[in-house]
A and B are shown apart, each in its own frame.
Chain A
Amino acid sequence: MKEIVVVSGKGGAGKSTITAGLSYFLKKNDVLVDADVDAPNLKILLEPEPVEEKDFYSGKQFKIEQDFCIRCGRCYHECSFEAIEIIKFDYVIDDIACEGCGLCQFICPTNAISVADKLTGKKYISKTKYGFKMVHALLNPAEENSGKLVADIKKVAKQLAKEQNASTIIVDGPPGIGCSAISAVSGSDIVLLVAESSISGLHDMERLIELSQNFKVKRLGFINKYGLNHDIDEKLVNLFESKGIEIVGYLNYSQDVPQYLKKKVNLPEYVEGYKKIFESLYKRIMEGVE
């Protein structure tokens, strides 16, 4: 079983479009993961029907019980995150600013601070319109996406893949190079680095490549919106080559793509030309796995 993670550094480079296109070639027992929990979009193209849903708890929620609080203000002064507010005369924890470290509870002289597990969202196993299953999540508004949820849904997907005897897991990664992206890449076999043909795309890809060097994964390159900027295209090709990263595909810049997306169309499903491109990309990635 192999896990392929699609990442780009830059947002809007085309991760979800390309992941959805690749998923068209997955077998019924394979598994897809949407690890961009902040902005999960695969559901728009794949129409998943939930077969299993579970609450996701992450971290701790602290609360000042007003009956026991003597308003000494210690928590207010010592909190590193300025997460304690004074409302009228009460000290209250601002859940959004709270880091969930428990310092306030530890230093409270009257044990007035209670703690509970924090419900941050839901995770789902769903059946997509192509028949394979997809693992995805939904964070509650303004909840922290710490990379824990990413690690968690990847674990669920691995377990599911094992049960179903799957050969492939494809993961749509989050943007950036921080916590969530690190979580998405770690423990995978292959990362598909999707670069956008723009100066921002190039700069972000340089940073992503540097990050990916810290992992024992095979890296493959892909250039999206190819032809938008020839000068950048050349630099991207050189960047990948200089790092020994094989480029396994290109997608030309076209004004048709946003029009297709607007119609919620998965590219290989409706357009013969795109089917060929994605089929060959899928094959090349699988060869990379061998």
Chain B
Amino acid sequence: MKISIVSGKGGAGKTTFTVLFANYLINKGVNVLINDLDVEEPNINLFLNKKLEYDNIYTYVPKHIKENCTYCKECAEKCLFKALVVAKDFWIVLPELCHSCKLCEYVCKYSAIEGDKRVIGKIGQSVDKVPHLLEGRLNIGESLTTALIKQVMCKSSNIKDNYDIILMDSPPGTSCPVIETSKGADKIVVVAEDTPFGFSDFVVLNDMLKEIGKDYYLIINKFIDGAEYLDFVAKNNIKILGKIPYDMNLARSYSGGHNMGVSIDFDSIYNTLLEGLR
């Protein structure tokens, strides 16, 4: 089962929940794989301290075959991302604008473009002791967040049969990268924080998940009174999976990357998530 942990707002508690839930599952003897898909800022391993073995991850980028090129500029004109600059005897690709769609290669009638690859980041893997971890780490200055997330999920899919549960820690926000991690999940857990900022972002995320036709379970973190949430949940028939109290000690242990002791009823969370699958 793939469980995606998402939140509209950064800092709502996705990573905290993922790490705590993974520990709970391991104690139950469940075989867990964590995917750290927050590839711009991967933080799961700060709490697990595993030794990761990294492999470079590549994306397609067009390469110029000079001797075949007529400098007709058609490739540059057709590229909707303006990733190619062509002038007389001059051809260059701007990798940060290239979306790896290969259109230029199709457009060129002279076989002057062929596929090449470039590094956009790396994937770290640790399979020594549980929980196993796959971490995507985007190279700094790189913007192909979603492309790298797809590659981590692909790698995770290849080994998914070895695990009972895969926990996918997603990036914050509500656009492409999060859609990518939500689409492939069997269950979605939304972690939202009990502040007006958190609630506003949660509503945006709720609309996005509705748009892609996905149900979810809600965890309210840093719970003070949850007033706005409880009202929204009642009106929209959303299942609350748990409430994590606002707790200074939890904040402190989180800040140091230590084992976070907090009284969360994981038994009920686990049973609820399993319910729909049996």
Seen from chain A, the residues whose Cβ lies within 8 Å of a Cβ on chain B are 9-13, 16, 38-41, 43-44, 59-60, 78, 80-81, 96, 99-103, 106-107, 139, 141-145, 147, 174-179, 181-182, 196-201, 203-204, 207, 210-211, 214, 225, 228-229, 231-232, 253, 255, 258-259, 261-262, 264
Contacts and interface: CB of A to CB of B under 8 A. Distances in A.
B11 A96 contact: no
B101 A175 contact: no
B41 A258 contact: no
Interface in B98-143: 99-103, 106-107, 138, 140-143
Contact of A177 (B41, B174, B224, B255): B41
Interface residues of B, number: 58
B46 A200 contact: yes
A143 to B, nearest CB: 7
B7 to A, nearest CB: 8
B157 interface: no
B246 A96 contact: no
Contacts of A145: 173, 175-176
Contact of A261 (B99, B197, B207): B197
Nearest to B137: A207
A229 B208 CA distance: 36
Contact of B11 (A11, A80, A147, A228): A11
B252 A178 contact: no
Contact of A103 (B11, B103, B194, B211): B103
Quick one: which of A11, A175, A261 has the most chain B CB within 10 A? A11
Contact of B138 (A177, A197, A258): A177
Interface string B143-185: 1010000000000000000000000000111111001000100
Contacts of A100: 80
Interface of B: 8-12, 15, 40-41, 43, 46, 60, 78, 80-81, 99-103, 106-107, 138, 140-143, 145, 171-176, 179, 183, 193-197, 200-201, 204, 207-208, 210-212, 222, 224, 246, 248, 251-252, 254-257
16 contacts: A9-B41, A10-B41, A38-B172, A41-B9, A60-B80, A80-B60, A141-B174, A141-B207, A141-B208, A145-B173, A176-B10, A178-B40, A178-B145, A261-B195, A262-B195, A264-B196
A142 B196 contact: no
Contact of A198 (B60, B174, B210, B255): B255
Contact of A101 (B41, B101, B197, B208): B101
B127 to A, nearest CB: 23
Contacts of B41: 9-11, 175-177, 200, 203-204, 207
Contacts of B194: 258, 262
Contacts of B141: 182, 211, 214
Contacts of B142: 178
B175 A144 contact: yes
Contacts of A96: 179, 183, 211-212
A231 B46 CA distance: 15
Nearest to B171: A176
A16 B15 CA distance: 21
B103 A232 contact: no
B99 to A, nearest CB: 5
A101 B81 contact: yes
Contacts of A60: 80
